Structure 1
Amino acid sequence: MVAQGAVVVAGIVTASAVAALIGPPLFHDHLLRAGMSASASELAHVEQAYNEASFVSLAVALVIAVLCALGVTWYVAGRLTRPLAVLTAAAHEMGEGNYAARATVSDAGPELASLAEAFNAMAGRLGDAEQTRRRLVGDVAHEMRTPVATLAAYLDGLDDRVVAWDEPTSSLFRSNVERLARLCDDMSAVSRAEEGRLELRRSNVEVRELLETAKREVRSGFSTKGVRLELGQCADARVVADPERVGQVLANLLANALRHTPAGGEVILSATQSGGEVRLVVQDSGEGLEPDQLTHVFERFYRGDAARTRDARGSGVGLTIAKAIAQAHGGRLTVTSPGRGHGATFTLSLPVGS
């Protein structure tokens, strides 16, 4: 309203100045040119009529301008305040922990509509982050509960002398302590990876060497389960990468493929070059993934099937770490799957070396 008032005042002041300073002399000069005598009484009346008409016109214009300014201000302010009130209410709801709050803005113009869309996208990401946090807390507690409960039960048994400290008991304690230590190490690794604090020793390394090393390290596990591991097409290329970290990613992808591929299935390890990147592919013929699972598979502790018993040797963060390692190399890790029962394909893309 202040801005509109300033515009109205500036316009009226300008028009009044023009009418008072420039208008009368011009009007008087034109009357003289029209043949009216400078001493004629009609001249004074005509000029007075001109001044009064100018005053009335400016007064009417001022009233109309003020009314228009009020109307425009009311309309524009309403279009601004209503969506802003909706956004404010949604922000307050989010502040109270309701991450499902959304702002619906339909008639506020493209700028506020874009703001509302950005707000809703932020709310969605915060909601996903909160769900991940809750699942993380619950899953960490779940992962720790079993070994802690086992150790506590055996400690009670040792105190009551119903359990003897022998080799099986010692082995059980050792394995559960190692499981807890592995969980702590994995959580620390996830934190470092997501914060970009991974130490990389990059070098130009042959792709075939990476694939063959990864295959050699997991071959015994595949043989034991009865799953074929084949080395498919392998591009004659080099990548700029940390061989140890890339080996960690491939080992994780192969272990994941083995876990979800039944006996008699097949896993193919291959590499292709496309433009300035090399794609290392792990393709299995196992359980596959539903479309809604593809967007969550790299999240910490994500379970595609909540009823599935997790491998006791894993902590559920391997794919999260693998994706962070890929991103630290300036590459990416993606997954595709035709659907349940049709296998999955993980692709690690890395920059081509010289």
Structure 2
Amino acid sequence: MSRPRTRGGWGRRLLWTQAAVVAAMAGTMVLTALAVGPAWFRAHLHEAADPRHDVVAHAQQAFAEAGLVSLAVGLGAAMLVALGVATVLNRSLAQGVEALVDGARQVAAGRYGHPVTPPSSSPELAQVAEAFNRMAARIAATEQTRRRMLTDLGHELRTPLAATQVTLEGLQDGVVEFTPEAVAVLLRQNRRLTALAADISEVSRAEEGAIALSPSRQDLAQLVEASAVAARHAFDAAGVRLDVQAAGGVVVEVDPARLGQVMDNLLRNALQHTVAGDRVLVTAGHETGGAVVRVADTGVGIPTEALPHVFERFYRLEHTRTRDVDGGTGVGLAICRAIARAQGGELSCRSEGPGHGATFTLTLPAAAS
């Protein structure tokens, strides 16, 4: 199959540049020859009019000298014109390359906020500059993620490390006895550190768009009900009612393990912000635009000013949390939104304020039939 021709290809542009230079040289030589040759030839013929000179010899000499002079002057002028034309045509290319080199130096120096803007009308250079700017923006985002991760990690490590240190120092000084309770404190903080390390790695990959997915056609109702079955024991123990209303026949193209991870986080979050007697309702079905899963609770609700920050890493509404659920590190909702977006969906939150509960809505594109 023949390759499609693209407008503004480098080969065509270089060909036109070379053709312009050759045309300039040829035109200059012809014009110079027409201007110099006849005058030189005419002067020799005037000399040949003298009876003392051989007319034929003068004519031959006039032809030869006129041709040589025309060629020399024309070639010199053509070279100068061609040089000027080549300089003008290649100036934009040189400026574009210099802009790319300067941009590369800026990125190498850690300055990512200097996008390349080549002063060239070349579509190829514009595409290279656009790709370079996207690369610089990606590097800047990754670097920002790394810095935020280190800051967040340092902040989150303080509590479990401090609790572990206090317990160990108490054991060393004899203030705390080596009892099952002391061991339980150490194990609990160790589990927290382990979960924190895993979630930090997961959320960093999520924010950089590097989540591994294995999508397949899945029945949405079965996935939702499986998550509810896994969480029901914790809800029953807390005295919180968990209801599921999932319409059958809704097929989605998702990674079932990742969607289960999202549902587990949403149910655990609902349990953390409800009390005995509250209700959590999970609905799933098809709406305009795709498949929708909602996790609505009648718990403590979310203040209006906190809603924009719900999906930020390590953002916790501690004063609204009714209980601690094992495994929570403060990045679950951030990971959930990243997973939803990686599968072409979205995760949003709505609350009428404190005392009115909260509703998390997961939208996913329905699989093609």
Coarse TM-score class (shorter-chain normalised): 0.5 to 0.7
Partner residue, 2:177: 164
Q: Any conservation in 1 of the 2:340–2:346 contact (CA below 8 Å)?
A: no
CA deviations on 1:152-204 (whole Å, 9 max, x unpaired) are 12111111112223344233222111112223444566689876767x697x7
- Calculate the aligned-residue CA RMSD, in Å: 5.1
TM-score (norm 1): 0.65
Partner residue, 1:282: 294
Structural mapping, 1:52-63, within 5 Å: 52-63=65-76
Partner residue, 2:332: 318
Does structure 1 residue 84 correspond to structure 2 residue 97? Answer: yes
Further displaced range: 313-322 or 130-139: 313-322
1:279 alignment partner, SS class: strand
Structural mapping, 1:1-354, within 5 Å: 8=22, 49-186=62-199, 206-218=219-231, 231=244, 234-238=247-251, 243-256=256-269, 268-272=282-286, 279-282=291-294, 286=302, 297=311, 302-303=313-314, 313-319=327-333, 322=336, 331-336=343-348, 345-349=361-365, 351=367
Per-residue deviation at 1:132? 0.4
CA spacing shift, 1:9–1:217, aligned 2, 3 Å: closer
Distance 1:239 1:347 in 2: 10
Per-residue deviation at 1:6? 12
* AA at the equivalent of 1:302: R
2:346 alignment partner, SS class: strand
Distance 1:250 1:61 in 2: 82
CA deviations on 1:199-236 (whole Å, 9 max, x unpaired) are x697x754322222333444576789998866456242
CA deviations on 1:246-281 (whole Å, 9 max, x unpaired) are 322221234346668999897653222789xx6242
CA deviations on 1:319-353 (whole Å, 9 max, x unpaired) are 5655776699xx43423568997965322446468
Distance 1:345 1:195 in 2: 23
Q: Any conservation in 1 of the 2:241–2:279 contact (CA below 8 Å)?
A: yes
Per-residue deviation at 1:151? 0.7
Distance 2:268 2:364 in 1: 15
* AA at the equivalent of 1:270: A
Further displaced range: 124-133 or 167-176: 167-176
CA spacing shift, 1:255–1:274, aligned 2, 3 Å: same
Question: Can you give the 5+ residue segments of structure 2 that lack an aligned partner in the other structure?
Answer: 1-16, 34-53
2:102 alignment partner, SS class: helix
Distance 1:185 1:93 in 2: 34
Q: Any conservation in 2 of the 1:288–1:343 contact (CA below 8 Å)?
A: no
Further displaced range: 259-268 or 141-150: 259-268
CA spacing shift, 1:231–1:98, aligned 2, 3 Å: same
Distance 1:168 1:89 in 2: 62
CA deviations on 1:281-303 (whole Å, 9 max, x unpaired) are 23658568999879xx5xxx735
Distance 2:360 2:249 in 1: 25
2:329 alignment partner, SS class: coil
* AA at the equivalent of 2:347: V
1:346 alignment partner, SS class: strand
Q: Percent identity over the alignment?
A: 36
2:117 alignment partner, SS class: coil
Aligned residues: 316
Distance 2:119 2:352 in 1: 40
CA deviations on 1:121-169 (whole Å, 9 max, x unpaired) are 2111111110101111222233223211211121111111122233442
Per-residue deviation at 1:104? 3.0
* AA at the equivalent of 2:157: M
CA spacing shift, 1:73–1:189, aligned 2, 3 Å: same
Per-residue deviation at 1:96? 1.8
Distance 2:295 2:67 in 1: 87
CA spacing shift, 1:243–1:9, aligned 2, 3 Å: closer
Distance 1:140 1:72 in 2: 60
Distance 1:334 1:135 in 2: 23
CA spacing shift, 1:100–1:291, aligned 2, 3 Å: farther
